[in-house]
Structure 1
Amino acid sequence: MEHKPLSQEQVLYRQIDDILWTEWDPIGINDCEQARDEYYGYLPHVWRLKLQGADAETIAQYLFDVEIDRMGLNGDIEHCRKVANRIISL
């Protein structure tokens, strides 16, 4: 079976997924491979923001809002900014 190469958008999607899992990880579970899908629900929105040319602050604010509103955490805007800058640099 021949595999079709991934599109640039698919590669970007996977890269953002990796960043959310390894670097954002607000609930500290990335050492548990069984929870690998924990952040999949937020991935499409972050990916769309990146494709639409959103700036780092917009992405950081989304991640921060997720931490507070959806996860019930205190949130860490500076960490979200670092993660967002990594995403922007892709």
Structure 2
Amino acid sequence: MTHQLNRQDQELLRIVGEVLHYIWDPIGVAGVPQARDEYDSYVGSVFTLLRSGASDTDISAHLEQIVVNRMGLPGRKERSNEAASVLTDWRDYQAQVAA
């Protein structure tokens, strides 16, 4: 996927993976190097939301839906909110720098 994206989108895609692993981390594997790819299957949908201009609230709700409906875990709203905020801040920063 990354070879079809411009450099800015490649960087955002990488950041999404980092944020999901180190900040969102609903199953607590951030300290396990072998689990670095644990959340990779969610990166694409979050990246798409970011690129479409989704709000913190929309992204957080999407992350919560993944935790509850796909992982079958209790929600962790504060972690989803934090991850969403970091992601939208990064997206907005990239837009500023590119302008």
Q: TM-score, normalization: structure 1?
A: 0.90
Alignment match, 2:37: 37
Gapped runs of 5+ residues in structure 1?
1-5
Instruction: Count residues with an aligned counterpart.
Output: 85
For residues 12-66 of structure 1, the C-alpha deviation after alignment (integer angstroms, 9 at most, x for no partner) is 1001111111100000011111111110000000001000100011100000000
Alignment of 1:1-90 (within 5 A): 7-90=7-90
Query: Which secondary structure state, in structure 2, belongs to the residue aligned with residue 22 of structure 1?
Result: helix
> What is the RMSD of the two structures over their aligned residues, measured on CA atoms?
1.0
Q: TM-score, normalization: structure 2?
A: 0.82
Moved over 2 A (4+): none
Q: Separation in 2 of the partners of 1:13 and 1:23?
A: 15
Deviates more, 1:77-86 or 1:61-70: 77-86
Gapped runs of 5+ residues in structure 2?
1-5, 91-99
Which residue identity lines up with residue 52 of structure 2 in the other structure?
Answer: Q
